[in-house]
């Protein structure tokens, strides 16, 4: 359906660079919902080398596999090595415009007629 480039630090997880922060609320649930709707996810981050490998593995352990990382998929026609700009309809980034408002709001910006895949936790007072 849509190709979505997603930043890591400050978007999927709290910005604790070079460490990996805690996942932001509903980040992985929303990314999985995008994938279920047929969206292609590209991890788009400034991380490189070992720090990038750690971020990719962290996402994998949380159930999200990316179509590509910091590039278009290498098997796509017309991909060049000199360009790091990925072909995406949406870029989700904590430093983007409009500013990142959270995962529920982001899902509804892309799919305005659908309910965001956020499960509310129940709290009980005893």
pLDDT of residue 79: 53
Distance CA 78, CA 81 (A): 10
Q: Angle at CA 75, nearest 5°, toward 74 and 80?
A: 50
Positions of the chain with pLDDT under 50: 122-124, 126
CB-count burial class (<10 Å; 0-12, 13-18, 19+) for 107 = buried
pLDDT of residue 126: 45
- Residue corresponding to tokens 């750690």: 54
Q: What is the pTM of this model?
A: 0.85
Distance CA 5, CA 88 (A): 6
Measured over the CA atoms of residue 70, residue 73, residue 78 and residue 81, the dihedral's sign is: positive
Q: Which CATH superfamily is domain 3-110 in?
A: HAD superfamily/HAD-like (3.40.50.1000)
């Amino acid at each position: 359906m849509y190709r979505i480039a997603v930043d890591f630090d400050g978007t999927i997880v709290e910005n604790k660079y070079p460490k990996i922060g805690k996942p932001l609320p509903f980040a992985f649930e929303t990314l999985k919902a995008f994938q279920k709707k047929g969206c292609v996810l590209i991890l788009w981050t400034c991380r490189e080398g070992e720090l990038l490998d750690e971020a990719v593995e962290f996402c994998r352990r949380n159930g999200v596999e990316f179509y590509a990382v910091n590039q278009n998929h290498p098997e796509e026609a017309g991909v060049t090595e000199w360009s790091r700009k990925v072909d995406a309809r949406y870029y989700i980034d904590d430093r983007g415009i409009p500013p990142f408002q959270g995962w529920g709001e982001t899902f509804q910006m892309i799919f305005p007629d659908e309910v965001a895949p956020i499960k509310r936790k129940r709290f009980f007072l005893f």
